[in-house]
A and B are shown apart, each in its own frame.
Chain A
Amino acid sequence: MTATLTAPIDVDRRGGAAVEFRSVVKDFSGHRALDGVSLSLRPGELVAVLGPSGCGKTTALRGLAGLESVTSGSITIDGDDVVGVPTHRRDVGMVFQAYSLFTHLTVLQNVEFGLRMRRVGRTERTSRARSMLELVGLGDLGERYAHQLSGGQQQRVALARALVTRPRVLLLDEPLSALDAKVRVHLRDEIRRIQRELAITTMFVTHDQEEALAVADRVAVMKAGSIEQIGTPEELYREPSSAFVAEFVGTSNRVRAEVVDGRVRLPGCREIEAVGSPADGAVWAWVRPEDVVFTDDPHAIAGIVETVSFRGAVSRTTVRTDPGTVLTLDHRPEVGRPIGAEVLVSFVPAAVAVTPV
């Protein structure tokens, strides 16, 4: 298996490879960073790995890159087990969180670096590097050095450098976290566009759930070295499988409820369909802020407005209810209530995710 990877790397390849983690374990002197991670990436798919700091997401990415060894388990790229294969033989491209351009080389020379390693001729090398710089929108900055570029530009160059060799897998290790908000949003959309254009299998590690939901075909949520849930962004948002996912992905209101005959009884609200097939009994229901509304229904939940924050298209209001819990509502700014107002709120989701109490 390994021997096939030592053959000259095909720089003309387009499209991505299938990647599979099987029961991967990684121990760091007494600490288990990866605890039996199993994850599949389909060819051409962008999978975001999302989780809090220390959950093992970067370790998993570095394991695939070969920058960390794994204690047990296997990692395959197109069926080839790459565990034990040196990084420079794995044919992966990687963009790091820290700016990683070689400061003694120009932008063009940076992008050419991987092609030089593969002994691509000068003419073709320069042509490809320039094309890739065009793709990331920096075609006219080839002669500059890293210190003459902004952070966003440096990460674009790093992306071009990672892609120019047409690697089997693209690895993105929080590449946007050092950038300011506006550049971050713009560049993440560009990454998605380029990834789709090249149809390259991509693993995108981030702790920013909005970023993950925005760019990924599927999102894998990690917790304490394990994959907690994997699914499309919509599935994760609407059907969280655990309290951790519900709380980590987006904002949720946790409400005590009861399941009766597969339907959820929420306080001050009609019965609502449950996501999945929960057993009858007491549960936590997870209701998104946009599914909580102000109402005039006297049977609704009474509370007092605590905070109001304007967020442009919507406002976010928190209401302290009689039982002492705080509910978060997202609503159009014009229907908002002032701080201190007594209000009635109700839940209006089509279906609600529940987890055991």
Chain B
Amino acid sequence: MAAVTGVDVATRASSGRAPSAGGPAGRASTTARRVALGVVGLVFAVPIAAMVAFSLRSADGSGHDLNHWLAIVDPENERAYRNLVEGVTNSLVLAVVAALLVLALLVPAMVLVHLRYPRLARPLELVCLVPITVPAIVLVVGLAPVYSVVTRIAGSGAWTLALAYGITVLPYAYRAVQSDLAGTDLRTLTEAARTLGAGWAHIAVSVVVPTLRRGLLAAAFITVAVVLGEFTIASLLNRVTLQTALVQVSRSDPYAAVIFALLALGFAFVLLVVIGRVGTRGPGSSPAVSAGAPPPAGAAAPAAPAAFAAPAPPAPPARKARS
């Protein structure tokens, strides 16, 4: 077997850095970028810093200490925060169930439409984006009779809210997966796998899921973020979640509400960082793709932090939970 002396064997440079970055234009754009980042950073940082300062305020108002933070983990306060713990637990369960629902129902439908029924792409997009146009309060009015049936069949466990949340996160999850689908020639990849001897089940596991890895992770994380921040539906359907529990506890202990809001905010931040990391550092991710990776995260990024940032200090926490 003779080796090829290829004219195209040389590897491409993969720098991707713009040549003008160091020039005057580059310096100007760098400065402008820093200013913009600084201003935007202040918008986010000031209320968060205020929340931190509020949570550290001593009981007599004379200084700052960690007493309110330590009180959260104090066994003596277990009863006071029991509702909050239940809310956190329910929200986490809801987040997982909603994410699984989205991945199990939405993603196969999107892939099927993409590969076999492209004419249905527009209707599917419309259906998936509709929930973003319906106010949560209107959604609840429609869901209330549905949930009376759901309660009879499946009980009134908090997890049943995942059915409603599966609808509310559709727009975000759809955009996250769709951006990956649009940037990948999935049809050719699946056809290549078929000619290589792979059946559809194997293609789904070995080709589709790894290829759409970033979109699927982004959809799952965004689902988690949105579910953890949702208040209106849970409140009106009388379910205990993180947000409803925060409102309740804030009436007696505003410090605890702010601390939990900060923790939730931190959790959302970590989620978004993970989306970015996993999306850009996975095996086979090209520099070019990495640069464009944030679309899934970026598409829903405003929604997720907003969901947690709502309980802004030091105003009465009861009015801060976002609907």
Q: Which of A's residues lie within 8 Å of B, judged by CB?
A: 9, 65-67, 86-88, 90-94, 96, 98-100, 102-106, 113-114, 117-118, 131, 134-139, 144-153, 156, 158, 161-162, 165, 171, 179, 182-183, 186-187, 190, 193, 197
Contact = CB atoms under 8 A, between A and B. Distances in A.
A104 B8 contact: no
B3 A113 contact: no
Given A100-B188, A145-B283, A145-B284, A117 B198 contact: yes
A137 B3 contact: yes
Interface string B34-50: 00000000000000000
B68 to A, nearest CB: 46
A147 B287 CA distance: 8
Contact of A183 (B8, B283, B285): B8
Contacts of B198: 88, 113, 117
23 contacts: A9-B197, A66-B194, A87-B194, A92-B195, A96-B192, A113-B196, A114-B196, A114-B197, A136-B4, A138-B9, A146-B284, A149-B11, A149-B12, A150-B11, A151-B8, A152-B6, A152-B7, A161-B196, A162-B196, A165-B196, A171-B195, A182-B7, A183-B8
A66 B193 CA distance: 13
Interface of B: 1-12, 14, 185, 188-189, 191-199, 202, 206-207, 210-211, 213, 282-289
A104 B213 contact: yes
A146 B286 CA distance: 8
Nearest to B4: A137
B214 to A, nearest CB: 10
A204 B128 CA distance: 42
Given A137-B9, A145-B283, A103 B211 contact: yes
A150 B13 CA distance: 10
Contacts of B192: 94, 96, 100, 102, 158, 161
B279 to A, nearest CB: 13
Contacts of B12: 148-150
A134 B4 CA distance: 8
A67 B191 contact: yes
A98 B7 contact: no
Of B7, B202, B289, chain A has the most CB atoms within 10 Å of the CB of B7
A223 B211 CA distance: 37
A102 B6 contact: no
Contacts of B202: 117
Contacts of B284: 102-106, 145-147
Nearest to B12: A150
A104 B210 contact: yes
B8 A152 contact: yes
A193 B282 CA distance: 37
Given A98-B185, A150-B10, A137 B210 contact: no
A197 B3 CA distance: 12
B14 A148 contact: yes
Nearest to B1: A135
